Amino acid sequence: MNRNDVTEKIIATKVSKGLKWEDVAKKVGLSKEWVTAGCLGQMTFDAKQAKILGKIFGLSVEEQKWLQVVPYKGSLPTPVPTDPLIYRWYEIVSVYGSTIKELIHEEFGDGIMSAIDFSMDIVRQPDPKGDRVNVVLSGKFLPYKQY
């Protein structure tokens, strides 16, 4: 057994029970974005959170322990994503990445946006021409240290 096996079980159980990530997140006490990332194998849960997820998804004690192991993050199966939705993000960064970088550097200086001290919010934005996906990414600015 490994973390991927636990992730597959979580996804299968979510589908079979008709669960929503937002409902799971409320029971865990964290955002739907963070809990979803964790359940998909990208974040680490503590023992209490793993136990709650164990009850929701019918996980054994051993499977709950895998939720507490620090994962290998950013592990997409291919260098260029093939899933259409994930590929759109790749395309957005390919087209607008240099613009995002330039504007962040102009506003903040030389540094990066943290993906550790970070939050995101994904909501549906009603629109008469078709609902829109509203994604807000908020990361602490980390200036490069001079030494």
Find the CATH number of the domain harbouring 137: 3.30.1160.10
Rounded Cα gap, residues 34 and 105, in angstroms? 27
Give residue 80's pLDDT.
Answer: 87
pLDDT for 102-117, tens place per residue? 999 999 999 999 999 9
* Residues 16 and 61 occupy one common structural domain: yes
Residue type, 9: K
Give residue 86's pLDDT.
Answer: 92
In 3D space, the residue among 77, 139, 75, 83 whose CA is nearest the CA of residue 112 turns out to be 139
Residue 8 falls inside a structural domain: yes
Give residue 72's pLDDT.
Answer: 85
3-state secondary structure 51-114: HHHHHHHCCCHHHHHHCCCCCCCCCCCCCCCCCHHHHHHHHHHHHHHHHHHHHHHHHHCCEEEE
Residue 72 falls inside a structural domain: no
Give residue 79's pLDDT.
Answer: 85
Which residues are designated catalytic?
88, 91, 114
Find the CATH number of the domain harbouring 54: 1.10.260.40
Give residue 120's pLDDT.
Answer: 97
Give residue 42's pLDDT.
Answer: 92
Instruction: Give every residue of the chain whose pLDDT is below 50, as ranges.
Output: none
Rounded Cα gap, residues 144 and 66, in angstroms? 35
Residue 106 falls inside a structural domain: yes
Give residue 74's pLDDT.
Answer: 78
Print the domain residue range for 139: 84-143
What's the alpha-carbon Rg for the chain, to the nearest Å?
Answer: 18
Give residue 17's pLDDT.
Answer: 98
* Residues 103 and 48 occupy one common structural domain: no
Residue type, 81: P
Give residue 93's pLDDT.
Answer: 92
